[in-house]
Structure 1
């Protein structure tokens, strides 16, 4: 029975390691966060910051070289890591939907779009072939594909990039999931199609009351759709908080640097875009010092020897940093 007082998703101390010939890679390092039903959380950070691996770890959608070595994942109070293979497959297919960055690598090119939608409906919803076909057409219509009954018999290559992404969303929504994980779903699309997909997800969220995790490197997208933002660096959360508060008063030097890289739209001649100097650290070992310290203009000696823990800065906003931007001094923690 579901614990109605529990968050939709509750993650504590999650750790994931990749075992490679060159040694272990600590891709996810003690990640903790919660997601409420109907909430949209944006997860941002540079490529390699651990965003996608973290979210794939939630449902154990990892390659064989990866291993979850610690932590707890609860979905509606149920222990995901303790589930059997059959229970996990049912959870992924029924309660959790996934939309990945490139629909051409996620859609099977030799099966029609209709078959790929109806297969999920028949397996997880127990529908007949006729019932699944009707529902599949409804889903294509829901995501804005015209003449959906006819297009069920089309193959992925017969759709544009934006339409293929809509098909992926339709498949993800087929079983009315309680959680949707969208991994950079608009990155490969042009700006106009991006705006259409974002508006579609915003509309579907209102209609279905889904919890959504939106993974992206684009802070501009997050500002327009998210309730809360999680900022990741080197496989760990360095800051998280309500979207307006985080944009108004970023606490971590990395978050501030990300915001400074956004282009400014003014009537004057544009200045050169800001960049973040240096490179992300190697993750051959679990961080024991602040991983951003070598790139940080505000680093203290303590940053080089001790990895900061997340501290509450008010309003549901927390940060993992020894530097206090309000005083310019070390935090009193």
Structure 2
């Protein structure tokens, strides 16, 4: 991959270099993430998009080592505030997770503990990471619930998660992730299980919080429509690797990878009345071996011999626009780096 400019690196809130994640299972080794490199800038919202199975969630959990090890094994470098998170011991990493890097999970019902009150779960990181007294932590917990738009916040602290609706539980999950005012917020498909109205409310909330708090946000989604509405930049993943990344407007106006174009064609807004909705034929690869060819080759309408012979590297095809596709990259343009 082309080396990002020095200014990109200096402005990065977080960056990953050559991130790889494998799962050692009874059925073989699953190569879930294959050499992913990317950065998110201070105050930037980066959307990570792709179908289920493309490696999005595994890559994000790998950044802060949230995966069970074993069976997972993660290699690469993840730089945050001048340190490589991959070199931290468990206790040092716990001080970063939750305090400096917040994580919002996809399902609020499983990410909230059903046997503890919402107030307890909000107060715990405040007391553990910031050393707040019980009284101050409770005051701050009320402020956090108000911040994410939960009415009568003081009266809701002693409620258990099951009392809240799905949308309200997700707001609580966001409040927990924001408790210690992290510099980076990773949101892993946080609106997938919510209805359209609540989804719109959560997206508006995130836009508002980002403006007020100035944090960097990595937003994981399978929905390019959602990404279009909130992201500065979009990174498309397929087969455990990055196949394209560009500023949001550039990606929608001039998508370069066949997979990105296929995703865009499935959007209802691009549907021609009277025609059937489009779908991407075939299935994502099983990833039982490290890709030696383009992972999209078996589903690509533009496939040719070279796609099957080698995996294209991610290189800069235009300023600020990276792509991994042999049709987009003449041989004389391909060069390697980090």
**Partner of residue 303, structure 2:** 299
Kept in 1: contact 2:11–2:42 (CA 8 A): no
Which residues in structure 2 correspond to 1:202-217 (within 5 Å)? 202-217=207-222
Alpha-carbon distance, 1:5 to partner: 3.1
Alpha-carbon distance, 1:68 to partner: 3.3
Task: Measure the CA separation in 2 of the matches of 1:331 and 1:274.
Answer: 32
**Partner of residue 312, structure 2:** 308
Kept in 2: contact 1:6–1:77 (CA 8 A): no
Classify the secondary structure of the residue corresponding to 1:165. helix
Classify the secondary structure of the residue corresponding to 1:94. coil
**Partner of residue 30, structure 1:** 35
Q: In the alignment, is residue 101 of structure 1 matched against residue 110 of structure 2? A: no
Residue from 155, 176, 181 that aligns with 2:186: 181
Deviations 1:199-252 (A, max 9, x none): 000000011111101000000000000000010000000000100000100000
Q: In the alignment, is residue 127 of structure 1 matched against residue 132 of structure 2? A: yes
Kept in 2: contact 1:94–1:124 (CA 8 A): yes
Alpha-carbon distance, 1:294 to partner: 1.1
Task: Measure the CA separation in 1 of the matches of 2:223 and 2:71.
Answer: 27
Task: Measure the CA separation in 2 of the matches of 1:305 and 1:65.
Answer: 32
Residue from 271, 274, 281 that aligns with 2:275: 271
Task: Measure the CA separation in 1 of the matches of 2:331 and 2:104.
Answer: 40
Task: Measure the CA separation in 1 of the matches of 2:325 and 2:277.
Answer: 25
Structure 2, gaps ≥5 residues long:
1-8, 334-338
Which residues in structure 2 correspond to 1:225-244 (within 5 Å)? 225-244=230-249
Q: In the alignment, is residue 323 of structure 1 matched against residue 327 of structure 2? A: yes
**Partner of residue 116, structure 2:** 111
Residue from 283, 288, 295 that aligns with 1:284: 288
The one of the two structures with greater contact order (alpha-carbon pairs below 8 A, sep at least 6) is 2
Q: Go from structure 1 to structure 2 and tell me whether the alpha carbon gap of 1:69 and 1:139 turns closer, same or farther (over 3 Å shift).
A: closer
Task: Measure the CA separation in 1 of the matches of 2:156 and 2:315.
Answer: 51
Bigger Cα displacement from structure 2, 184-193 vs 277-286 = 277-286
Alpha-carbon distance, 1:64 to partner: 3.0
Q: Go from structure 1 to structure 2 and tell me whether the alpha carbon gap of 1:128 and 1:227 turns closer, same or farther (over 3 Å shift).
A: same
Task: Measure the CA separation in 1 of the matches of 2:74 and 2:192.
Answer: 31
Kept in 2: contact 1:6–1:76 (CA 8 A): no
The CA RMSD over aligned residues, in Å, is 1.5
Provide TM-score, normalisation by structure 2.
0.93
Task: Measure the CA separation in 2 of the matches of 1:281 and 1:171.
Answer: 35
**Partner of residue 259, structure 1:** 264
Alpha-carbon distance, 1:279 to partner: 1.3
Residue from 45, 49, 72 that aligns with 1:44: 49
Residue from 76, 79, 83 that aligns with 2:81: 76
Q: In the alignment, is residue 161 of structure 1 matched against residue 172 of structure 2? A: no
Provide TM-score, normalisation by structure 1.
0.95
Q: Go from structure 1 to structure 2 and tell me whether the alpha carbon gap of 1:162 and 1:270 turns closer, same or farther (over 3 Å shift).
A: farther
